[in-house]
Amino acid sequence: MRPISIETGVTKHAEGSCMIKVGDTHVLCTATIEERVPPFMRNSGQGWVTAEYGMLPRATNTRMRREAAAGKQGGRTVEIQRLIGRSLRAGVDRQALGERQITVDCDVIQADGGTRCASITGGWVALRLAVNKLLKAGDITTDPLLAPVAAVSCGIYAGQTVLDLDYPEDSEAGVDGNFVMTGAGRLIEVQMSAEGATFTHEQMARLMELADKGVSELVEAQKAAVA
Amino acid sequence: MRPISIETGVTKHAEGSCMIKVGDTHVLCTATIEERVPPFMRNSGQGWVTAEYGMLPRATNTRMRREAAAGKQGGRTVEIQRLIGRSLRAGVDRQALGERQITVDCDVIQADGGTRCASITGGWVALRLAVNKLLKAGDITTDPLLAPVAAVSCGIYAGQTVLDLDYPEDSEAGVDGNFVMTGAGRLIEVQMSAEGATFTHEQMARLMELADKGVSELVEAQKAAVA
Amino acid sequence: MRPISIETGVTKHAEGSCMIKVGDTHVLCTATIEERVPPFMRNSGQGWVTAEYGMLPRATNTRMRREAAAGKQGGRTVEIQRLIGRSLRAGVDRQALGERQITVDCDVIQADGGTRCASITGGWVALRLAVNKLLKAGDITTDPLLAPVAAVSCGIYAGQTVLDLDYPEDSEAGVDGNFVMTGAGRLIEVQMSAEGATFTHEQMARLMELADKGVSELVEAQKAAVA
Amino acid sequence: MRPISIETGVTKHAEGSCMIKVGDTHVLCTATIEERVPPFMRNSGQGWVTAEYGMLPRATNTRMRREAAAGKQGGRTVEIQRLIGRSLRAGVDRQALGERQITVDCDVIQADGGTRCASITGGWVALRLAVNKLLKAGDITTDPLLAPVAAVSCGIYAGQTVLDLDYPEDSEAGVDGNFVMTGAGRLIEVQMSAEGATFTHEQMARLMELADKGVSELVEAQKAAVA
Amino acid sequence: MRPISIETGVTKHAEGSCMIKVGDTHVLCTATIEERVPPFMRNSGQGWVTAEYGMLPRATNTRMRREAAAGKQGGRTVEIQRLIGRSLRAGVDRQALGERQITVDCDVIQADGGTRCASITGGWVALRLAVNKLLKAGDITTDPLLAPVAAVSCGIYAGQTVLDLDYPEDSEAGVDGNFVMTGAGRLIEVQMSAEGATFTHEQMARLMELADKGVSELVEAQKAAVA
Amino acid sequence: MRPISIETGVTKHAEGSCMIKVGDTHVLCTATIEERVPPFMRNSGQGWVTAEYGMLPRATNTRMRREAAAGKQGGRTVEIQRLIGRSLRAGVDRQALGERQITVDCDVIQADGGTRCASITGGWVALRLAVNKLLKAGDITTDPLLAPVAAVSCGIYAGQTVLDLDYPEDSEAGVDGNFVMTGAGRLIEVQMSAEGATFTHEQMARLMELADKGVSELVEAQKAAVA
């Protein structure tokens, strides 16, 4: 694992925020509370947690086209923000949250591999801080957050199973993916993809072991940050 | 597993085509060969395989808005067609294919769960038939298809690990996902997602065993269809 | 006229459906009943019938770009679906239908000329079946369908007036068009267009005679299908 | 027929232009010559004539949303501009025009029914003037315009066949349409549509006779304008 | 200043309208009254004045792409219509107007520099005429128009400060801009921009003097037009 | 003036970068060098400088919709990025820059008024650093930056002319605007806008004096940052 740092309270407007740095990958995560839910949730008594993801045009080595200028979010962006939202919701008791929405925005300031995992890990910290605000204000009485949620990437690079790939490793890896887990070691999302390659059940098992270790370390960093 | 049927040669224009039925899920798969590659592949001496996915508006129980009328493909569609393309490419020697593109279109005529898995399984059959045409015409001499590629869904429904979920099961399952594998039993893609739930390493292992069985059955059906 | 076949009940979800085949042109038509009308019809006591049209990307000889991926429906698609909707509405007593909407989706599975005419003819069959369901359930008591509606293409090809053009004829014809008529021989829509050519009043009269015969044959096929 | 006036040379930039007034319907038509053709015409030795149509937001009784602000041209606009382009091309020898494009823009300044017919009639005048410029400059030697092209609307209103409908008539007519013809009395486009009604072959024949008369009058006005 | 002409009542549908000509720049301005306000103004007791701007494709020397066909309004269009709306609102007592909206559409028929200034000057005339209608009908009792609003362009061209630039001057000017003022000589908007150049405080002061003179002349023309 | 801080080199990928803080307004500015120019500049021997502007969704007090998700850049964004680009170009000798493009991205991390001015001031620092890299590498030999470019907002708030408005002041000000100037005190852009108000020539003159002072202070901060 690359060095992890999570700085909280980095923006004055958001209900919860942090800057997470995993190696040279830096993501600004903010959580916004709104007293409304999407149409399909109205009058359900339950809340909603969703996420949006973006990358600054020059977060990467060569400048990428700004999605707002291109007129739409690319397939990769859509896929990532759906993953972040689903992952965070898995750790939330939506009944306890009450009929309100929390939107977690993850914006990549600098990218060096693993931006979606850093977004989930940092996004949970922003969510935790926003929920703390609701609890402190007495808007809710039961904590809706069931457990910390964190994510780590891993892959098979030059024949070896590796954890927390940086960009050069990631772009060379024939197999890579992400494990999203709770602080209690339960699985939320497992995604392993091969591009022009395949992998064995044994490799899959080894990647899972690595991921367990990585997530433990991330959850420690989360706990320290929100303490 | 629900009953599987694969009928080939269902449209007169496409280089390869089949209608795959997995239970009440019916997907029309066509493969189109074009003697050009996307800009990022030009002069690489390698070919490209890509996929597009769509659902007829009334393939589902209630009518969905036509994506062409809505003016964009939804996030779910984008996610699925990226998965199909990635999965099929994992079974292709792109050097042997030569600098040409094969586009696999998967259009869901009737949906009852597992449309993305049926698309991958049927898509490979269409791809196989199109490649056979190239081989027969002498356009290529080495078969670029390394192994059959098939996919099966599985999930945890009412506390139990189940294979090949239909729509009612799928919409109730707290955890579901897809396994894409080769006919030789190697993994291409593993995707397990929890929505408002979590799962254990043991459950993950059991799902993997189920998937092995399901994919074996699908590969038999593929072999019979293209024989 | 090319051989006509109409198979009903081809999809389990739609209130009415058929696969119409006119020669090598195959169109899947479904009718969806919704208990709401567009904003401009609310509180009018009248219903609405509308249509949407699409072509699978490889319905044609060379693959066409998927309209959902292109981000909009092309001019030809818009023109065709407006024609289908208008044609079907001409045969409907919208007061008798009551304040509900029926959407007829026509998706071309395989194209060989005359897809808009096949869509109208098959679309009416799907509409008929959906309306039968409403009548049987007692949701309406007066049949809102005034007469069958069917359409046939014709044109001037190699100097001769011809009926029911297939794709090679259609693409060579300097003049072509469509006649939409009721089973009682009344006109609903007459569209003759010249592209880089002109035609005489006499030719127009001959085309009309041909169309009368073609529509009679189509209406027979419709009656047999819904019997 | 309502009074017709055609004023030419109304804008200093366009190669050909006129303001056509048919009753209270006023359309500004301009023709632009460009020394290039669309990709599908390149190296064909033939030219192309195309048209675009628009309506100022307050050309109508109540303000319509500006299409540029809405982000797309509506179905009606697309249908109309395809009709104008097709109609004008029917009167052009594209070989004689040479490999260049003429774009005819028809913008409705004030609408009172029959805007598409006025656009075709006025559009031909703008086209004629632009082509005259090419002939005068010696850029082409053979006149590519085969015959004048003009259009008139007609319909069935209050049980009677009528010519050149104004807006109140048009919006009440159960059947209406357009006839596009050459100055020599040959047909280019026949479009009769019923909305919630049907019509007979006899009515169709009467409408055609009316149209013959209307077009004759329009062609006289065109000839006077370009003289 | 180039010759100014303002003809009122040029379209039969709009509540207020004029054709303003400043030299060879011709803009059609219409004002539409609607008894509704945008969502952010509801129940405020105040009205709203907004503007939209467009250019016919061949208003310019070479044909520009139609914005409706391009699928969006360009940056220049958006900037201009925001300026027109802001400028007109500065001269309106929105309380006196009451909760209704007036939309001023400015469509450039022929362009030769200064189209945004002509739009503001002519737009105010259309607004004045529409408001007169409300006053005459007794819908409002206090005149909400505080003062005439007019605009003039100026710039530095070939080293000299000049007023009311035509297109050749404008495209050569290193510095140009617009002054929007009331008939009473108060400022509403000052916009001076350098492109690849800079300017001094002294030049700025001289431009302001020129603008004072130009606006006086325009306000005289406005008064004469609405008298 | 609020406290100003400019930290350079804040991202490892961009050729030039800084984080500028003016009070609670924080903008990340990056400059990207590309060895290509837009089509309209090709083979001109001159370079191009352009800018893009964005705001993170929760940079503001309440969350704004992400422009990439909305599918387009809003009018305000377009207006601002055109201003930034124009302003920076005014300080560049594009011949000396050579045929390459520098894109300055300004992304607002936290907003409290004056984001466009902070973007110009910080954007120039990023541009300076990127150009220094070109000079150091010997890619260019003459410094293309003619003078520092900085911008300050000012307005009339509660009857008083004020400099560098924060968000509460800005949203209450009836008149506000921006002055863009060079380090040598020459003007580049003057924009004063009244919303529902007007202002006098005397007020304009006082605002200009204030702006002179503000820009001097900003230029000092720029010089210190790039030293």
Residue listed under structure tokens 């309380």: E95
Question: What pLDDT score was predicted for residue C223?
Answer: 97
Residue E128, annotated as binding a ligand: no
Scan for tokens 């120039």, then name that residue: F124
Q: Which pLDDT does position C119 carry in this prediction?
A: 98
Sheet containing strand B16-22, edge to edge, reads B4-8, B16-22, B25-34, B101-110, B48-55
Phi, psi of D117 (to 5 degrees): -70, -45
Mapped to the 3 state alphabet, what secondary structure does E113-126 carry?
CCHHHHHHHHHHHH
Q: What is the pLDDT of residue F159?
A: 85
* Chain A residues lying within 8 Å of B192, measured CB to CB: 187, 189-190
User: How much is the pLDDT for B82?
Assistant: 94
C187 touches chain D (CB under 8 A): yes
- pLDDT tens digits along C46-104: 999 999 999 999 999 999 999 999 988 998 999 999 999 999 999 999 999 999 999 99
Q: Mutating which of C198, C201, C202 best tests the D interface, going by the most D Cβ atoms within 10 A?
A: C198
Distance in angstroms (rounded) separating the CA atoms of residues D23 and D73: 26
Residue B93 is predicted with a pLDDT of 96
Q: Which chain D residue's Cα is nearest to C203?
A: D187
Of E75, E94, E189, the CB nearest to F194: E189
Q: What is the pLDDT of residues E152-171, one digit of tens each?
A: 999 998 889 999 999 998 88
**CA nearest to D8, candidates D31, D33, D41, D40:** D31
- Residue ranges at the known binding site of F: 76, 114-116
Which pLDDT tens digit goes with each residue over C93-106?
Answer: 999 999 999 999 99
Neighbours of chain D (3+ CB pairs under 8 A): C, E
Give D216 to chain C, closest Cα distance, Å.
Answer: 15
Question: Cβ–Cβ of A11/F52 closer than 8 Å?
Answer: no
Residue E118: predicted pLDDT: 98
Q: Which two tokens mark A47?
A: 């809340």
Query: Is B94 part of any known ligand binding site?
Result: no
The encoded tokens of residue B77 equal 């569609």
pLDDT exceeds 90 at position C172: no
pLDDT given at position C32: 98
Chain C CA closest to residue B102:
C63
Per-residue pLDDT tens digits for A67-99 = 999 988 998 999 999 999 999 999 999 999 999
Distance from CA of D191 to the nearest CA of E (A): 25
Q: Is E116 annotated as a binding residue?
A: yes
On whether any CB of chain A is under 8 Å from the CB of B186, the answer is yes
Judge: D32–E63 Cβ closer than 8 Å, yes or no: yes
Distance CA F197, CA F175 (A): 7
Interface probe, candidates F156, F201, F202, F203, chain E, greatest E C-beta count within 10 A:
F201
CB contact under 8 Å between F192 and E187, yes or no, is yes
Given a cut of 90, whether residue A157 has pLDDT beyond it is no
Q: Chunk chain B into consecutive blocks of 10 residues (it has 227) and report each block's average pLDDT, rounded to whole numbers.
A: 97 98 98 95 94 98 95 91 96 96 98 97 98 98 97 92 92 92 96 91 94 97 97
Q: In this structure, is the dihedral angle defined by the CA atoms of residues F35, F41, F45 and F48, taken in order, positive or negative?
A: negative
Q: Which residue of D has its CA nearest to E56?
A: D107
- Structure confidence at residue E172 (pLDDT): 87
Q: How far is D110 from chain C (nearest CA, A)?
A: 25
Query: What are phi and psi for residue F115, nearest 5 degrees?
Result: -70, -30
Which residue has better confidence, A151 or E157? A151
What residues contact C137, with CB distance under 8 A and at least 6 apart?
A: none
Looking at the complex, does the CB of residue B41 fall below 8 Å from at least one CB of chain A? no
Give, for B27, the enclosing helix (H) or strand (E).
strand B25-34
Is F177 at the interface with chain E, CB within 8 A?
yes
The one-letter amino acid at A148: P
For B93, the closest chain A residue by CA position comes to: A196
- pLDDT single digits (tens) C101-147: 999 999 999 999 999 999 999 999 999 999 999 999 999 999 999 99
Residue-wise pLDDT for F65-118, tens only, equals 999 999 889 989 999 999 999 999 999 999 999 999 999 999 999 999 999 999
**Of D86, D23, D60, nearest to D221 (Cα)?**
D23
The pLDDT, as a whole number, for residue C136 is 98
Residue D140 — very low, low, confident or very high, per pLDDT cuts 50/70/90? very high
Residue A146 pLDDT more than 90? yes
pLDDT of residue B158: 83
**Average pLDDT along chain C:** 95
Burial (Cβ within 10 Å: 0-12, 13-18, ≥19) of residue E75: middle
**Owner of token pair 């940056």:** E75
Q: Chain C residues with CB inside 8 Å of B166's CB?
A: none
Predicted local confidence at residue F150, as pLDDT? 98
Decide if A201 and B195 are in contact by the 8 Å CB cutoff: no
What's the Cα-to-Cα distance from B29 to each of B61, B90, C146, rounded to whole Å?
21, 18, 39
Q: Which residues pair with C26 in a beta bridge?
A: C21, C110
d(CA F182, CA F151): 9
* Whether pLDDT at D86 is above 90: yes
What pLDDT is attached to residue C63?
A: 97
Q: How many CB atoms lie within 10 A of CB F123?
A: 31
| Residue F214 binned pLDDT confidence (cut-offs 50, 70, 90) | very high
| Spans of chain E below 50 pLDDT | none
Closest Cα in chain E to D78: E69
Q: What are phi and psi of C117, to 5 degrees?
A: -70, -45
Option in C82, C187, C200 nearest D199 (CB): C187
Exposure string of B56-68, with b = 16+ CB inside 10 Å and e = fewer, is bbbbbeebbebbb
Nearest neighbour of D192 by CB, restricted to C89, C190, C196: C190
Q: Name residue, tokens 């128009």.
A: E145
Residue D81: closest CA among D105, D56, D64, D112: D105
- Residue pLDDT, tens place only, D151-184: 999 999 888 999 999 999 888 888 999 999 999 9
Tokens of D39: 């990709």
Enumerate the residues of chain F whose CB falls inside 8 A of the CB of residue E203: 187
Supply the Cα-derived Rg of chain D in whole angstroms: 17
Buried b (16+ CB within 10 A) or exposed e, C128-157: bbbbeebeeeeeeeeebbbbbbbbbbbbbb
Q: List the single range of A11-15, D7-11, D197-201, F31-35 with lowest mean pLDDT.
A: D197-201
Angle between helices A75-89 and B75-89 (to 10 degrees): 110
Distance, in Å, from the CA atom of A101 to the CA atom of A89, rounded to the nearest integer, reads 11
Closest chain A residue by Cα to residue F14: A58
What pLDDT is attached to residue A201? 94
Which residues of B are less than 8 Å from C34 in CB distance? 63
DSSP code, position E17: E
Q: Of D56, D61, D127, D166, which to mutate for an interface test with E (greatest number of E Cβ within 10 Å)?
A: D56
Contact with chain B for residue C84, Cβ under 8 A: no
- Looking at chain D, the whole-number percentage of residues with pLDDT higher than 70 is 100
The answer to whether the CB atoms of A187 and B197 lie below 8 A apart is no
Size of interface E-F (CB pairs under 8 A): 88
